[in-house]
Structure 1
Amino acid sequence: MENEAATLYCPNENCQALNPLTHKFCQRCSTPLPKIYLWAVVDGLSVGSPGEILADRYLVINQSVVLDTKPGLLPQTPELDDVEVIRAYLRLIPYRLNVPQVYGVLPLTDGHSHQEILLLEQPPLLVDDIQQVYLCSKLITAWRDATSMRQLNWLWQLAHLWEPLLSEGVVSSLLDPDLLRVEGPLVRLLELRFDPETVPELTQLGEFWQQLLSETKPVIAEFVSVISHSLIQGEINSPEQLIAVLDRGLAELGRSQTPTIAIATKTDTGPSRQRNEDACYPPSGTLVSKPPQPTALAIVCDGIGGHEGGNVASNLAIETIQQQVQQLTKVPYDHIDPPMLLADLELAVAVANDKISQRNDGENRQGRQRMGTTLVMALPVAHEMYITHVGDSRAYWITRHGCYQVTLDDDVASREVRLGYAVYREAVQQSASGSLVQALGMSPSTSLHPTSQRFILDEDAVFLLTSDGLSDFDRVEESWETEILPILASEVNLATVADRLVEIANTKNGHDNVTIALVHYQLQYWEPEISVKAVIPDSASVKTADLASRGAGGTVLGSPNQKTQVIPESKPAKTPQLPLQFLVPLILVVAAGSLGYFVMKLRSPSVSIPLLSSPTQQPTPAATLETRSLANLATGWVIQTQREIPLRNNQSLPSGTFLEVIETIPSTRTASGGSEVQLRLCSNKITPTANTNKPLVSYPAAATTPLPPEKTVLIDFSQLKRFGVSVLQSDAPSPCNTITAPPVSNSPGSSSTESNTR
């Protein structure tokens, strides 16, 4: 129970009036009064007595929850040089739907001792009408009442979190039932726990999931049982393999889910601008429904570059991407591979980027004179929503449980947090924090890093796409409950809400153009009568399939750690081919026979290939060879390009180029915060590859020069995935000699040019 005598300070710095906690607006200036509840990381202890005010600011709600009574003031931030655990939270900001973010620290002084308690924002809490605060249910508690679709959705989210949390040393958080909470369709972590010296493995995840079997819905009980057993036995030994199996199960359940989608758009010049540089699809004022329309696509673009610049770029992006996506969605859903579709959406963005960039080059636009645009788009397909974005136009996911920002701005502040350098609330106070680090049209697509995500939808939802004309100053967070939530109760229509949101943007912000798109996803779901069956492919087939698809058109999941691949029957996997000059005829015959048998197995997704390391089988020399792919790239390996890869300074790596991996380096040069690979050229010999699939994007011929042999290059890891490379297996004769490459500095560069602040 909150302290009735406590007061909430108005966040308006020109007001700062005291208000009762029950008020939603300041009684003096009518400014919205945000209630910021925080989770205090106190390791099972109590932060204080309920009703107590700590540090003259934080009202204790219960042993681990406090309320910030002065939301207009910056919280005290931790010293990052001394607190490694905080960096784990920061670097996991791309997963903030599931992982809480750092708000600040609560300083406590007891006599001569001083300590700081970490405060996490947006904990999974429920606040009722009388302001009682409760923790959301544990996953193991809510499990029995969830539909089979939601149960698999929760497991799917845990599978996607395994690799990123493992990389930060906190994967044991996914095995703690007390930390795993659920808020409607979302799995939410209360906090992170550092891993013990013995790092948890997927075997323990299988043991944890086995505890859920007694309450698992009958239609998927056998499916979950097989997955759990396979994890424990090591038959599923990678997150990629696990996600691939779960994807198949969700696709089966998705056939029992019938969606209806409606889209409304609105764009407005605003009160302070002379022209509108924004654009949207469908055109402003349009209402689209699926069915009867075959495709539902929403796009919002916010142009950069002034007259004859921003408006040209935003409209060119809309036109280009709409045409590209129209081709993608002609494929029946049963033949769509989710990771491939995500990658193709990124490639569609690359096409639009290059068209704008080429126009800039043709008009000799340089620096801030270059025209560009942000982009955010939503594509609902069956039981999934695909979101792709570049820049600071945002996507929000609104359910009956809350409003969630699902995109992370491509600006300086977000980049600092992603790299673990600053807490977000501190980063946004720095100069130029809102400057974009990337936007469409500012440079060739080789340096563009669009973010693609997909979400499983198991209940009605509204997705809001918006330019910063509305999202600035937290207007969405202020108004979603009163303006957007009624859509889900059928109390208001989309067009009316779109008009109202534009009005809010113009009256409460008014500094920019405003463009929004509302995507209302409604579903009917019934539990299927036929049980879902689990087919467990081995990890080698999943990784080979993943690698082969990249060569077929750069199809790779855009979000980090989401590298799944289900092989359609019409596109069998292709195994990297070695140059003939390195194989003697006898080896060619043996290798071709073995390769043919393996590819034949991969052609049928219903065939489960036994693990080479099966304990009931005596391993052969071939079975002990290491399976290599981009997923586990290591020093000393050799890769071969499958497409020409453009580089900086008008140079390129031709198709068929062999390169030796020198090292993998965490990137500080890209907004994505991924990694870069230092490579040494071994050969520029072009070797034809058996790749007959036409890529979505045909990059124009450029005046590029192949690099000389033995030169080292530093390439962003996402570029290797986008353009496709083959990884030579450990038993293959290497075309690279053992010449040691000179060191290459991995200090931050200037390749990610910051766009003008809008």
Structure 2
Amino acid sequence: MVGFGGGSLASTRGCLQRSTISILGICELINQLMAATLYCPNYNCQAPNPEHHKHCEKCRTLLPKRYLWSVEQSATPHQPGEIVGDRYLFKQQQIWLDTKPGSFSETPLELPAIALPYLKLIPYQIHLPQAYDWLETGSRHLLFLENIPLNPNRLNSSDPLAPALTQLWSTASPLRQLNWLWQIAQLWQPLSLQGVAATLLDPQLIRVEGPLIRLLELRPSGKSAPKLQQLGQLWSQWVKTAHPDATSGVQNLANRLIRGEIKGSEQLVSLLDESLAQFATSATLDFQIATLTNTGPSRRRNEDACYPPSGSSVCLSWDRASAHVPIPLTIVCDGIGGHEGGNVASQLAIETVQQRVEQLFHPDLHPDRLQTELEQAVCIANDRISQQNDSERRHERQRMGTTLVMALAQGHQMYITHVGDSRVYWITAFGCHQVTLDDDVATREVRLGYAFYRDALQHPGSGSLVQALGMSASDLLHPTVGRFILDGDGIFLLCSDGLSDGDRVEEYWESEILPVLNGQIDAKTAVERLVEIANTQNGHDNVTISLLHYRLLGGSNPPPLAHPESQRTVLSSPEPRSQSNLKTQLLPPSKSDWGILPLILGILLLLGLGVPLAYLLGVPNLLRAWQQTPVATSDPSIVVIPSPDPPPVAAPPQASLEARSLVQVEAIANNGIEQPPPLFLFSSLQAATERETLGEIPPNSLLYIQGKQTLENAEVWLNLRVCTVGPLSEPNLSAPVVPGNVGWVREIDLLPRSSVTSSPPQGCP
């Protein structure tokens, strides 16, 4: 009886335990299923959907998969299926999914310092993740990053991230290996300015997606900024597994970096350019360009334009022997503003830029010179449109203007020129990446470190343009020119916002553009499909699309790179140009070359003739402030709120410093008089008003004056490049500038402590 009773009790306990385990298992399964629910971003729907669905089951809205990477100050273990902030689902490692992509969290007014480098480096979004959200839950502080190097199709694998550079280095072609190093060199200076260059010294943070370098996160450099010598030490570890045709070149660069012979990232980029150019001698590239523009279902007039003309399908082949055939060039413009004005502006821009580029293009033109010429071509188009506006007495919102995106191939290099909010995307077998950054208010807020991008988009007027062709003087226009190395097959998509709005490119690139790379359809067919998608899925605007499909046919066995001993001499710096990689610059350097005019005016002022002459020439009217010219948008109710002007200052000195001259900063002796304030270098004129400096310029530094800009209040600012930095004689000196920095100094501040010199060091013109 006892035994039976005991056995029954034991059996009962076993049943209860099994039942409890089963219930817990069911509950855990239910929790996981609930955790994997993705809510529709449509505000009027918000229906729950399984994570693997592409569109909402209820309203067919696209379900964006925002896979994020978390940066947490104190590493806290998380369990799969865990949700924080009532929205972020933990997947594995540091990977999360935003289950409510249509909702907005309460971002703190003062953003955390850890997020600022991501915001200010948004012009490099093709290489870097971007800050998405900041979450504080108890003692946990998490920064979520979007645009991470992740393959969503491998989320269930142990390592869904893009491979590290070191994993693919030994199997890459020599052209790709040098391309990867070239991109790292390009990133060194901007990351150094934000104190995160240590990222480029950690191989685990350097990921690759085909030809692209992609950084997993940014790592603060700490108190001591990393040196180029450390970069050379890292690269020296890769020499043994480099391609035989690239081994000597990589070894040479690493040795020179370690020995300190390469003084700055600009010189390093120039040396890599020289190495890359050797492979272009044996490369053959085929190009196919297809264009199409359409009025759309809701507009009466098409204000867009493109080159080659709409409906074209052009095939070109490039090699050294046939380098003078028609060049691979395509342009897309989206006209804005004024009655029957946008179409005129876009056509003027196409005609002017196309003719200018084809007249000046040469296959051996130095990259920096070519970038300068592309900027000048856009500025000339801007002047033509502005003159048309003035002749027709168009003012404010009636002024016609246009955006512009342009792709120009020069051998194994692609140059992307951009003004406005039309876009360029780069599609390879490894992904789709947005190359350009919209010149709008939202982007400006992010770049200044004021807001996360998704928050900035919610502000009124966030889509208003801060610059477009025809809206202001060319002195105040800053076209963006980016350069990319072609080391495989790919496609550049140029389009107006009739297609890019609503993330249509991100939604359809795999189904509509990737087949072109696979040879399943041609570029002309893909363009026609994309226009149809734009009209049916968006339909609110004109749409214009150009696809530039390129294929690398030769160059797999180029001549070996020159032996290290034959590359001992330091390359001379190229012709000076406006050096700013920022995609949207509020107050860019002047494009006008005044030559000796300021000096002549100064002499005339001394003779008492300057005032009437200045009145006759109307100089003040030529220097219109960019902030006072609102740029029209496709929505006439939205106008950009101008940035504040710099504060009034004393009148400029009668002497002046000339553009394209070298000046030495002299130390002012302490002879009992009041010492001048420190001399600071500002990244832009807007940064000067906010006292955001690149650093202090010590005495005995050597500076190159790239250009000058005069404001309406007659204040003269100099655009400088730091060639060398003087010794730090005072221990309490604030953070100094570094060689290669480019920024602005007020002329009146530099004049009393400068002398002109004619003996440039290496790295200066």
Report the TM-score, using the length of structure 2 for normalisation.
0.73
Task: Give the distance between the partners of 1:259 and 1:269, measured in 2 at CA.
Answer: 33
3-state SS of paired residue (1:507): helix
1:153 paired residue number: 179
Which shows bigger deviation, 190-199 or 49-58? 49-58
Matches within 5 A, 1:367-382: 367-382=396-411
1:198-597 equivalent positions in 2, closer than 5 A: 198-291=224-317, 294-329=326-361, 331=362, 333=363, 335-528=364-557, 530-533=559-562, 534=564, 536=567, 542=572, 545-546=573-574, 549-550=575-576, 555-556=577-578, 559=581
| Cα distance, 1:706–1:401 mapped onto 2, change above 3 Å | closer
The Cα of 1:285 is off from its aligned counterpart by: 0.4
Give the aligned partner of residue 670 of structure 2: none
Q: By how many angstroms is 1:42 displaced? A: 2.6
Q: Which protein shows a greater Rg?
A: 2
Task: Give yes or no for contact 1:650–1:705 (8 Å, CA) kept in 2.
Answer: no
Instruction: Indicate the residue corresponding to 1:55 in structure 2.
Output: 85
- Greater mean deviation of Cα atoms: 421-430 or 250-259: 250-259
SS in 1 for 2:67: strand
1:89-109 C-alpha deviation (Å, 9 max, x unpaired): 111001111111101123333
> Aligned in 2, Cα 1:657/1:57: closer, same or farther, shift over 3 Å?
closer
Counterparts of 1:506 and 1:308 in 2: how far apart (Å)?
Answer: 22
SS in 2 for 1:128: helix
Q: From the superposition, tell whether residues 47 and 434 of structure 1 become closer, same or farther in structure 2 (CA, over 3 Å).
A: farther
**Secondary structure of 2:284's aligned partner:** strand
State whether residues 148 and 216 of structure 2, in contact with CA within 8 Å, keep that contact through their aligned partners in structure 1.
yes
User: AA paired with 2:472?
Assistant: S
- Give yes or no for the alignment of 1:40 onto 2:70: yes
The answer to whether the aligner puts 1:650 opposite 2:657 as a matched pair is no
2:220 to 191, 194, 207: 194
Please say if 1:121 is aligned against 2:146.
yes
Cα deviation, residue 15, structure 1: 1.4
Q: 1:52 to 1:449 in 2, by over 3 A?
A: same
User: Which deviates more, 132-141 or 210-219?
Assistant: 132-141
**Residues in 2 aligned to 1:102 and 1:498: alpha-carbon distance in whole angstroms:** 33
What are the Cα deviations for residues 477-516 of structure 1, in whole angstroms up to 9, with x where unaligned? 1111111111110111111111111111111111111111
Summarize deviations over 1:452-486 as a string: whole Å, max 9, x none: 00101111111111111111111111111111111
- Find the aligned partners of 1:656 and 1:370 in 2 and give their Cα distance: 36
Q: Greater CA deviation, 42-51 or 211-220?
A: 42-51
**Structure 2 gap ranges (5+):** 1-28, 319-324, 584-595, 600-616, 625-651, 666-678, 696-708, 722-739, 741-746, 755-765
- Match for residue 705 of structure 2? none
1:69 aligns with 2:99: yes
Post-superposition Cα deviations, 1:201-242, rounded to whole Å, max 9, x if no partner, equal 000000000111111011111111111000000111211111
* Paired position in structure 2 for 1:12: 42
The one-character-per-residue Cα deviations of 1:650-707 (angstroms, maximum 9, x if unpaired) are 3699999548886432336499x999999xxxxxxxxxxxxxxxxxxxxxxxxx9999
1:352 is matched by which residue type in structure 2? A
Identity %: 50
SS in 2 for 1:295: coil
Alignment of 1:171-182 (within 5 A): 171-182=197-208
Deviation, structure 1 residue 738 = 6.6
User: Is the CA contact (8 Å cut-off) linking 2:407 and 2:417 kept in structure 1?
Assistant: yes
Measure the CA separation in 2 of the matches of 1:143 and 1:75. 40
Give the conservation status (yes or no) of the 8 Å contact 1:213–1:221.
Answer: yes
Change (3 A) 1:517 1:655: farther
Q: Matched residues in 2 for 1:658 and 1:341: separation?
A: 24
Q: CA deviation at 1:80?
A: 3.3
Q: CA deviation at 1:418?
A: 1.0
For residue 78 of structure 2, give the secondary structure of its aligned residue in structure 1.
coil
Task: Tell me: CA distance 1:351–1:526, structure 2 relative to 1, closer, same or farther (3 Å).
Answer: closer
**Superposed displacement of residue 358, structure 1:** 0.9
Aligned match of 2:763? none
CA distance in structure 1 between the partners assigned to 2:680 and 2:687 by the alignment? 17
Q: What letter is aligned with 2:494?
A: L
- For 1:328, give the aligned amino acid: L
Q: Structure 2: how far apart are the matches of 1:674 and 1:191?
A: 28
Cα gap change, 1:445/1:468 in structure 2, threshold over 3 Å: closer, same or farther? Answer: same
**Equivalent residue runs for 1:610-629 within 5 Å:** none
Aligned partner of residue 61 in structure 1, secondary structure: strand
8 Å CA contact 1:343, 1:558 repeated in 2 = no
> Quick one: which amino acid aligns to residue 492 of structure 2?
F
CA distance in 2, matches of 1:162, 1:380: 25
Which residue is equivalent to 2:122?
93
Tell me, in whole angstroms, the C-alpha distance in 1 between the residues paired with 2:381 and 2:335.
13
Please give the TM-score of this superposition, normalised by the length of structure 1. 0.74
Which SS does the other structure have where 2:553 is aligned? strand
Q: How far apart in 1 are the matches of 2:753 and 2:239?
A: 54
* Secondary structure of the corresponding residue to residue 436 of structure 1: coil
Report the Cα distance in structure 2 between the residues aligned to 1:244 and 1:463, rounded to whole angstroms: 25
Offset of residue 199 of structure 1: 1.2
CA shift digits 1:244-267 (9 cap, x unpaired): 110011111223321100011111
Distance of 1:713 and 1:249 partners within structure 2: 40
Tell me how far 1:55 sits from its aligned partner: 2.2
Contact 2:279 2:555 in 1 (8 A): no
**How many Å apart are 1:125 and its aligned residue?**
1.0
**Which stretch shows the higher mean deviation, 647-656 or 120-129?**
647-656
SS at match of 1:24: coil
Task: Measure, in 1, the Cα distance between the counterparts of 2:711 and 2:150.
Answer: 57
Give the partner amino acid of 2:342.
Answer: G
Kindly provide the amino acid, as one letter, of the partner of residue 280 in structure 2.
G
Whole-Å separation in 1 of the counterparts to 2:694 and 2:398:
32
Whether contact under 8 Å (2:278, 2:558) holds in the other structure is no
Shift of 1:78: 4.5
2:394 alignment partner AA:
R
The question of whether the paired residues in 2 share the 8 Å contact of 1:256 and 1:525 is answered with yes
Task: Tell me if structure 2 keeps the 8 A contact 1:450–1:558.
Answer: no
Shift of 1:85: 2.2
User: Quick one: distance in 2 between partners of 1:483 and 1:146?
Assistant: 28
Q: 1:747 matched to which residue of 2?
A: none
CA distance 1:45–1:116, shift in 2 (3 Å): closer
**2-side partners of 1:663 and 1:22: how far apart?**
53
1:179 and 1:416 map into 2 onto residues whose CA distance is 27
Deviations along 1:267-323, one digit per CA (max 9) or x if unpaired, are 111111110111110111011111385211110000012433111100000000010
